[in-house]
A and B are shown apart, each in its own frame.
Chain A
Amino acid sequence: MQGSRVHFENVTKSFGATVALSDFNLDIAPGEFVTLLGASGSGKSTALNILAGFSDATSGEVFIDDRPLTGVAPEHRNVGMVFQNFALFPHKTVAENVAFPLKMRKVAQAEINTRVKAALDMVQLGDFAARKPAALSGGQRQRVALARAVVFEPPVLLMDECLSALDLKLREELQEEIRRIHREIGTTVLFVTHDQTEALTMSDRIAILAGGEIVQIDAPEALYDRPRTRFVADFIGQSNMFDLANVVDGKASVPDMGIEIPMPDANAVAISLRPERIRVVLGDAPTDKTIFEGTVQDETFYGPVVAQMVRLSSGRLLEVRSQRSGHDRMPHTGEAIKLAFDPADAAPLAD
């Protein structure tokens, strides 16, 4: 099966004075797995509901494969959806739930039976066909919901925080399962979560939403390595952010560190440095231009990794995470420490 292209064009949605989505643009390639990641209230569900046809955009247009969707009822959009609260029909058995989309499409009974069985086998629930949803565990219910959403092979699959009601272990299992199913059926997936780890592990691309706007959309690695704003740097993973001064001629100074670094981006106002990208300099290394100094204020031992909070002479705190080599003696709490980083690892921030 082939996934469809999904395209949001200048979509805006207001509820009275509340702007839930503003000038939302998103282009999803056929078969791509895109995640909307954002805090509660950032407009994720609003975007999904407009694509599903549950609510109308105030302005703008949504397309599936170049077909404009305004005025198309949900039942005519051929989109699969998994809901946060499972939304299984409590009065129908597992098999009847999964058969529902096929029944609505007037598929012949014999074919319904084979396809329902295949879908239930796919989520390893073949033995539960005759049960009612109330007799299933949370994870099993969400598997049924997943089977029901894909049994009619929709070219677009929507999932709205569909794992957030489950505990961590189940969530990880189902993440794996969703990725496998995505690989197997090749459908286009628009996935919604507020869990950054979930977004990072599952997606081809992640769109970070804040206040109804996409603040950055990129592949997980790019998003982690090159956040473009303080908001994104802070939202994804841990980050140390430093203001820049004198950004001219491809250079900039970092006043907190008292050093100068190459800075090709003339619009940068700050840099983001991941804690694991900062190196502890042991012994002398006078040639390294990005060496700066501080005092270890606190340290946390994680086994293979040690995290240290370092106080710079400007008073700023920063976090460093180092792999422990075991050979060299690391500075401990209260001792002076020398740090360095590769300027290429410093992501320039535009605001």
Chain B
Amino acid sequence: MRKRLTLIPGIVLIAVMFLIPVGIVFQQGLFDPVFSLDHFERFATRGAYMRIFWNTLQVSAVVALVCLLIGYPIAYFIVRQPPSRRPFLMFLVLVPMWMSILARTYAWMVVLGKEGIINQSLLAVGLIDAPIKMLFTTGAVYVGMVQIMLPILIVTCFSSMTEIDQSLLRAARIMGASPRKAFREVFLPLSAEGAITGTLIVFILSIGFFIVPALIGGRKDVLMANVISNQVSQTNWGFAAALAIVLLVATLAILTVVRTASAKLVHHNEEAH
């Protein structure tokens, strides 16, 4: 009984911080002022919104996978270093996170712009005759988002990798596994859950991005969050809420599918010991 009482502050906090706001969003999206699905109909029938919706999911998925492909090897590299050297390397990974996303995105303008560092260098060396258009392209959006998300994936992978008992790899080797085989048979399966979790976190956070596409993306690189922001500034609260609900439901659906699929494939650590 006392145990339940101590749960109350937590439950209240969750209710105030999450459930009530989400409830208000649902109320705004579904009641105008009486129950109607008009906002959702508008979303589903206007091609532009559907296109932006799919684009958002696709960009987020690509960003998440690119982060995985770059971040997993980096995390692996750091975890292979002597324990005394790891904190410094993780510090380097985390430094960018201390800067605001806004500042980092502006920094990409300086790097990628017509007069930017890359174009100026290439021109100076003579590799190109005219500046390449890099800013305000889809590529710039990917670069900007990956740069912001990468530390999150590295940290998630790293923490799951440090939990892998090093003697398991030794055991694999002494039983006849080459380093590559030991990695595939032991390290990869045991770090897969952390890698999948990290990828999902990056995916979910990417779905809500709007600063990066707004500042360094092209006209067609608009994401759902940009549309929602526009609708809010035009005080179309109901439609903005409906879009948010669509994103939320889509995210939950994707999470469920990936989680169910990976539960069958990867090992969970929580049952050990």
* Partner-B contacts on A (CB < 8 A): 52-54, 73-75, 77-81, 83, 85, 87, 89-91, 100-101, 104-105, 132-134, 148, 152
Contact = CB atoms under 8 A, between A and B. Distances in A.
Contacts of B227: none
A152 B271 CA distance: 29
Contact of A104 (B167, B181, B266): B181
B173 A90 contact: no
B32 interface: no
B253 to A, nearest CB: 28
Nearest to B270: A134
B174 interface: yes
Interface in B158-206: 165, 167-168, 170-178, 181, 185-186, 189-190
Contact of A85 (B165, B173, B181): B165
Contacts of A87: 165, 167-168, 170-171
B272 A74 contact: no
A111 B164 CA distance: 31
A105 B176 contact: yes
Contacts of B186: 89
A134 B273 contact: yes
Contact of A75 (B176, B266, B271): B176
B173 A74 contact: yes
A85 B165 CA distance: 10
B208 to A, nearest CB: 33
Contacts of A105: 176
21 contacts: A73-B173, A73-B178, A74-B174, A75-B173, A75-B174, A80-B174, A81-B171, A83-B171, A85-B167, A87-B167, A89-B168, A89-B171, A89-B186, A90-B267, A90-B271, A100-B185, A104-B175, A133-B272, A134-B271, A134-B272, A134-B273
A323 to B, nearest CB: 46
A168 to B, nearest CB: 21
Contact of B189 (A73, A91, A132): A91
Nearest to B271: A134
B269 interface: yes
Contacts of A101: 175-176
Contacts of A83: 167, 170-171
A56 to B, nearest CB: 14
B269 A152 contact: no
Given A91-B189, A134-B272, A104 B170 contact: no
A77 B181 contact: no
Q: Is the interface of B mostly helix, strand, loop or mixed?
A: helix
A75 B167 contact: no
Contacts of A52: 170, 174
Interface of B: 165, 167-168, 170-178, 181, 185-186, 189-190, 266-267, 269, 271-273
B77 to A, nearest CB: 20
A150 to B, nearest CB: 11
B170 A74 contact: yes
B177 A90 contact: no
B92 to A, nearest CB: 26
Given A80-B175, A89-B168, 15 more contacts: A53-B173, A54-B170, A54-B174, A75-B173, A75-B178, A80-B174, A87-B165, A87-B170, A100-B175, A101-B175, A101-B176, A104-B175, A104-B176, A104-B177, A105-B176
Contacts of A73: 173, 178
A336 to B, nearest CB: 58
B160 to A, nearest CB: 13
A74 B175 CA distance: 8
Nearest to B181: A104
Nearest to B167: A87
Contacts of B269: 90
A104 B189 CA distance: 17
Contact of A100 (B170, B172, B266, B267): B172
Contacts of B178: 73, 75
Contact of A152 (B168, B175, B185): B175
Nearest to A158: B174
Contacts of B165: 85, 87
Contacts of B167: 83, 85, 87
A162 to B, nearest CB: 12
B47 to A, nearest CB: 46
Contacts of A85: 165, 167
A91 B190 contact: yes
Contacts of A148: 175
Contacts of A80: 174-175
B164 to A, nearest CB: 10
A35 B127 CA distance: 69
A282 B123 CA distance: 108
A277 B167 CA distance: 45
A10 to B, nearest CB: 24
Nearest to A145: B171
A89 B177 CA distance: 13
A79 B171 CA distance: 11
B158 to A, nearest CB: 19
A74 B179 CA distance: 10
A89 B173 CA distance: 13
Contacts of A91: 189-190, 266-267
B174 to A, nearest CB: 5
A73 B169 CA distance: 13
Nearest to A85: B167
Contacts of B272: 90, 133-134
Question: Sorted from nearest, which 8 A-B pairs have the closest CB atoms?
Answer: A91-B267, A104-B176, A101-B175, A87-B171, A74-B173, A87-B167, A134-B271, A81-B174
